[in-house]
């Protein structure tokens, strides 16, 4: 156990001042939404969706422009975040598989460093035995179409009670919203006719209507973020790092369950009074595997050396503007849905995707599950494809992937032009292919197929 100094105590409204507090391990808060992509926040240039709380958090701190999850599905993504290990090493390659026995997670590290670790809201951290050391705070809300949703009043009440007791331990709070995971809320004021659709979409009335619902759910998550942020400002000392991010991209085609940036590139905003300069941005390339070692370092510990993650505490503290040269990500499947293993490497400019079984047909909940999973609009894409060649090309691209994909993401952020066969990139392609091969070998990743693919 690392020796610790006396902690600054007491609730200080509005992050009340106290230079000494910044010398101590900070309180750590991470607000995690569900299925919210980088492209769908006003902080990152979206003009249609309303996210004022994210804007406020970015104004108070730093918006990160290049943070990526290790897998574009719920449980694997959270497993990478909480273990510092990529999917093949932590055991959670397919969705809902859970961590392998013996994998150590963030709550146990922080508890050993003297932290109180608590969890609020939706939980996709599996299995529960892999997460010793934290306390689940029950919610009064039993609803949410898939899991109990976040009760922000419970967060406020818990923080107020804790502050009233004069708690001396630093706290790590993992606060998880269900939104904007399907099923989306009804439209709360968005005009479907005026929305800008991603260029990879087929423009139909059904698509626009569902897009308005998705944006409404993004705005609801943003509202919850604002409420939790206000509670933390009211009840926690100034020495508090507050992070917002999501687990993976949204449940739309070419996003969740894919390795395109819409699936793995995530919003990531951090505020830390007196440490992070307000209103700043960072282009440092960061992986979700880096969150655990960062939190451990900030908590006063030494990050484990055998994990895949590397601490970016220096970026948060303004001592460095760079972090990684490349990030990797993996996807395998979701039970018998979307059995389509793929791996990718991304640099600041290029993305290479290796589809391990291009003979499989790519499908997801969107095109084969219930109406509220995506069929409401995807069926309209299929119908339009019968008479519209451009719509037919989109549907074909959704279902059929080549063995290799290469994109200049700096010039083509929506990854519409596959450069794998372009002679201009004949040196780039084998370099990135080699990186994936070596990475998979180092991970012990054999490209296993989980579930039953569609052929």
User: What confidence tier does 17 reach under pLDDT thresholds 50, 70, 90?
Assistant: very low
Q: Is the pLDDT of residue 53 over 70?
A: yes
Domain residue ranges of the chain, discontinuous segments joined by +: 23-324, 330-443
The confidence score (pLDDT) of residue 105 equals: 97
The confidence score (pLDDT) of residue 141 equals: 56
HSE-CB at 197 with a 13 A cutoff on CA atoms is 20
* Mean pLDDT of the 399-424 span: 98
- pLDDT tens, position by position, 339-361: 999 999 999 999 999 999 999 99
Q: Are 243 and 29 in contact (CB under 8 A)?
A: yes
281 beta partners:
63
The confidence score (pLDDT) of residue 240 equals: 98
DSSP classification of residue 257: B
The confidence score (pLDDT) of residue 140 equals: 61
- Counting every residue written for the chain, the total comes to 455
* Mean pLDDT of the 104-126 span: 93
Beta strand pairing call for 116-121 and 404-408: unpaired
The confidence score (pLDDT) of residue 321 equals: 95
* Mean pLDDT of the 209-221 span: 98
- pLDDT tens, position by position, 134-182: 888 876 655 444 455 899 999 999 999 998 877 779 999 999 999 999 9
Cα 29 to its chain centre, rounded Å, is 15
- 187-221 per-residue burial string, b: 16 or more CB within 10 A, e: under 16: beebebeebeebebbbebebbbbbbbbbbbbbbbb
User: What confidence tier does 337 reach under pLDDT thresholds 50, 70, 90?
Assistant: confident
Whether the upstream peptide bond of residue 5 has omega within 30° of 0, thus cis, is no
Per the structure block, which two tokens stand in for 353?
């995707």
Superfamily, domain 23-324: Alkaline Phosphatase, subunit A (3.40.720.10)
Q: Is the pLDDT of residue 41 over 50?
A: yes
Per the structure block, which two tokens stand in for 222?
């943003």
The confidence score (pLDDT) of residue 8 equals: 33
Q: Are 355 and 364 in contact (CB under 8 A)?
A: no
pTM for this predicted structure: 0.93
Which of 140, 144, 143, 177 is closest to 158 using CA atoms?
Answer: 140
Q: Are 283 and 65 in contact (CB under 8 A)?
A: yes
Angle at alpha carbon of residue 201, lines to 197 and 203, rounded to 5°: 70
Q: Is the pLDDT of residue 221 over 90?
A: yes
User: What confidence tier does 382 reach under pLDDT thresholds 50, 70, 90?
Assistant: very high
Q: Which residues, 6+ apart, have CB-to-CB distance to 434 below 8 Å? A: none
Q: Are 46 and 55 in contact (CB under 8 A)?
A: no
Q: Are 345 and 328 in contact (CB under 8 A)?
A: yes
Select the more confidently predicted residue: 19 or 108: 108
DSSP classification of residue 454: B
* Mean pLDDT of the 312-335 span: 96
């Amino acid at each position: 156990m690392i020796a610790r100094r006396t902690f600054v105590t007491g609730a200080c409204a509005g992050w009340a001042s106290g230079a000494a507090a910044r010398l101590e391990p900070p309180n750590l808060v991470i607000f995690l939404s569900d299925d919210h992509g980088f492209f769908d926040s006003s902080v990152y240039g979206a003009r249609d969706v309303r996210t004022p709380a994210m804007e406020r958090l970015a104004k108070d701190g730093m918006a990160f422009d290049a943070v990526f999850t290790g897998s574009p599905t719920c449980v694997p993504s959270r497993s990478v975040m909480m273990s510092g290990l990529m999917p093949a090493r932590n055991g959670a390659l397919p969705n809902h598989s859970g961590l392998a026995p013996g994998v150590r997670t963030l709550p146990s590290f922080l508890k050993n460093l003297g932290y109180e670790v608590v969890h609020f809201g939706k939980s996709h951290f599996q299995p529960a035995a892999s997460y010793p050391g934290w306390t689940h705070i029950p919610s009064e809300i039993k609803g949410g179409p898939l899991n109990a949703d976040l009760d922000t009043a419970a967060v406020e009440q818990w923080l107020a009670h804790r502050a009233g007791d004069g708690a001396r331990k630093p706290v790590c709070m993992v606060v998880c919203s269900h939104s904007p995971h399907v099923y989306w809320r009804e439209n709360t004021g968005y005009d479907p006719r005026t929305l800008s659709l991603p260029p990879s979409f087929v423009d139909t009335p059904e698509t626009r209507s569902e897009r308005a619902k998705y944006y409404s759910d993004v705005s609801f998550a943003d509202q919850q973020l604002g409420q939790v942020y206000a509670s933390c400002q009211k009840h926690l000392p100034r020495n508090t790092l507050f992070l917002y991010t999501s687990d993976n991209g949204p449940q739309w085609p070419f996003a969740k369950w894919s390795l395109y940036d819409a699936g793995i590139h995530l919003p990531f905003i951090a505020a830390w009074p007196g440490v992070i300069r307000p209103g700043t941005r960072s282009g440092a390339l960061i992986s979700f595997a880096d969150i655990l070692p960062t939190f451990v370092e900030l908590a006063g510990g030494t990050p484990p050396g055998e994990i895949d993650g590397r601490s970016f505490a220096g970026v948060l503290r303004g001592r460095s503007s760079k972090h990684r040269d490349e990030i990797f990500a993996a996807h395998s499947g979701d039970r018998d849905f979307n059995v389509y293993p793929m791996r990718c490497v991304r640099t600041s400019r290029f993305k290479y995707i290796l589809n391990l079984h291009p003979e499989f047909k790519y499908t997801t909940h969107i095109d084969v599950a219930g109406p509220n999973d995506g069929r409401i609009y995807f069926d309209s894409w299929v119908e339009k494809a019968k008479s519209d060649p451009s719509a037919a090309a989109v549907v074909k691209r959704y279902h059929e992937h080549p063995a290799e994909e290469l994109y200049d993401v700096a010039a083509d952020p929506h990854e519409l032009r596959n450069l794998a066969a372009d002679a201009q990139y004949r040196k780039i392609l084998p370099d990135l292919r080699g990186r994936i091969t070596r990475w998979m070998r180092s991970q012990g990743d054999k490209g296993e197929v989980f579930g039953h693919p569609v052929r």
